Amino acid sequence: MTIILVNFMERVIVFQMFHGRLGKFINLEAILNGLNILCRKRIFYVDAETFTPVLGRFYDRSGDIWRLAIGGFSHPDYHLNENKGSGVMIPSLISMIDIQAQHCTTLKMKTSIDSADVTRKDFTSAVS
């Protein structure tokens, strides 16, 4: 389980509870140039161990915070039975919070890791 505490004064504190240590994160920042760009700047916080983005901040043309994207993860031993012992964090929740519109959209998932139901052909285009 990952708990993200966000302080909107430019500080982010992240604790990974199932590792029992403070997590290390990579800060990725993208600034887009152009007159017709709706989302001018994006900042992503990526878990340095798994390269999984766990938090994103999006800024509008004027530089004001527009949206927050937050990923929630489960420990594999406390998720679906088929995920026990897999040793990977399970994505189970994604929220997009629109600060300016005061609206939140949340996606809750039941993710199965390394499922036998998924085969390589599911990801390969059929070319004749």
pLDDT for 17 equals: 41
pLDDT for 39 equals: 81
Closest CA to 20 of 45, 39, 3: 3
Q: What letter would DSSP give residue 82?
A: G
Closest CA to 27 of 43, 6, 39: 43
Please name each of the domains of the chain with its CATH number. 25-113 (2.50.20.10)
pLDDT for 50 equals: 79
pLDDT for 79 equals: 84
**Average pLDDT for consecutive 10-residue bins of the chain (128 residues)?**
44 43 75 77 84 88 90 85 85 89 89 80 68
51: left (phi over 0), alpha (psi -120 to 50) or beta: left
**pLDDT per position as a tens digit, 55-90:** 899 999 888 999 999 988 888 888 888 888 888 888
pLDDT for 31 equals: 83
Q: For residue 81, what are its two tokens?
A: 């039975």
Question: Is 94 in contact with 69 (CB distance < 8 Å)?
Answer: yes
pLDDT for 69 equals: 93
